[in-house]
Amino acid sequence: MELTFIYFDFPFWRAEVGKIALFMGGIDFKNRIVGSEEFQRVKQIGQLDDGTLIPFHQLPCLVVDGVSIAQTGGIARFCGKLSGMYPKNDDVLAAQIDQFLDMATDITDLISTTGRDEDQEAKKIKRQELCKGELARKLGILNKNIGDDSGWVLGPDLGLADIAIWRLMGWLSCGILDGIPTDLIKEFLRISRVCLAVDTHPKIQEWVARTYPKDYVRGNYL
Ligand SMILES: N[C@@H](CCC(=O)N[C@@H](CS)C(=O)NCC(=O)O)C(=O)O
């Protein structure tokens, strides 16, 4: 099976969940990076410059033997099934994983509501308000839904939910979002615990060393 991941040159959770699942499963894939100019064309016409279909004019996209698949959750499940990180015969566990992927989407969408403002100062103020209000509320709810033992979000091993939370929180707390403080998640001890566990997992460290840009800044967890 030939797999090509299409995304930006940035390790955002939407693509990382699927990519890391494949890496954990020892499954090879190609990486097609889209730059900002090509992305403007993708948004308009729904294809890469080489004609590759991008179904909903959005990224990430995964091309499987020539078939383009869109949507973060669908791609994550597909990759998870290939690598054994998403169950094929346990609908309850599958739904439990899904709920964390969808929560990651909700939190991402919340940040996006502040992101299209031309005025940087106005955007910063909106984000500061979000951190005190709805974002803090959502993080508190996410935190509550993570078990209070020392393990992963679900099950005995590192899973898709852990990866999604780790990269989402890494993005939120690394200092690149003006108006969002780097200590944002430190009070959410269970989220912080999971992020630290993912961050120090040997396979994740190998993946980061191998693929992340030189200017990658990790999140602030504890
Ligand atoms: N529902 C999509 C949303 C993906 C998404 O919003 N991707 C961003 C880049 S990270 C994008 O393509 N935005 C352009 C647009 O929505 O027009 C998913 O879950 O994958």
Q: Where in the chain is the domain with CATH 1.20.1050.10?
A: 91-211
**Backbone φ and ψ of 6, nearest 5°:** -115, 115
Confidence of residue 6 (pLDDT cuts 50, 70, 90): very high
**Minimal-distance CA residue to ligand 1 atom 18:** 71
Q: Where in the chain is the domain with CATH 3.40.30.10?
A: 3-83
pLDDT of residue 117: 65
pLDDT of residue 221: 87
Looking at the domain that runs over 91-211, which CATH code has it been given?
1.20.1050.10
- Secondary-structure percent of the chain, ordered helix, strand, coil, rounded to 5: 50, 10, 40
Residue 162 predicted with pLDDT over 90: yes
pLDDT of residue 148: 79
How would you classify the pairing of strands 30-33 and 3-7?
parallel
Q: Position 201: which residue type? A: H
From ligand 1's centre to the CA of 143, what distance in Å?
Answer: 25
Nearest atom of ligand 1 to the alpha carbon of 75: 20
Nearest atom of ligand 1 to the alpha carbon of 73: 19
The arrangement of secondary structure in 3-83, i.e. its CATH architecture, is: 3-Layer(aba) Sandwich (3.40)
What mean pLDDT is predicted for residues 82-108?
98
Residue 206 predicted with pLDDT over 80: yes
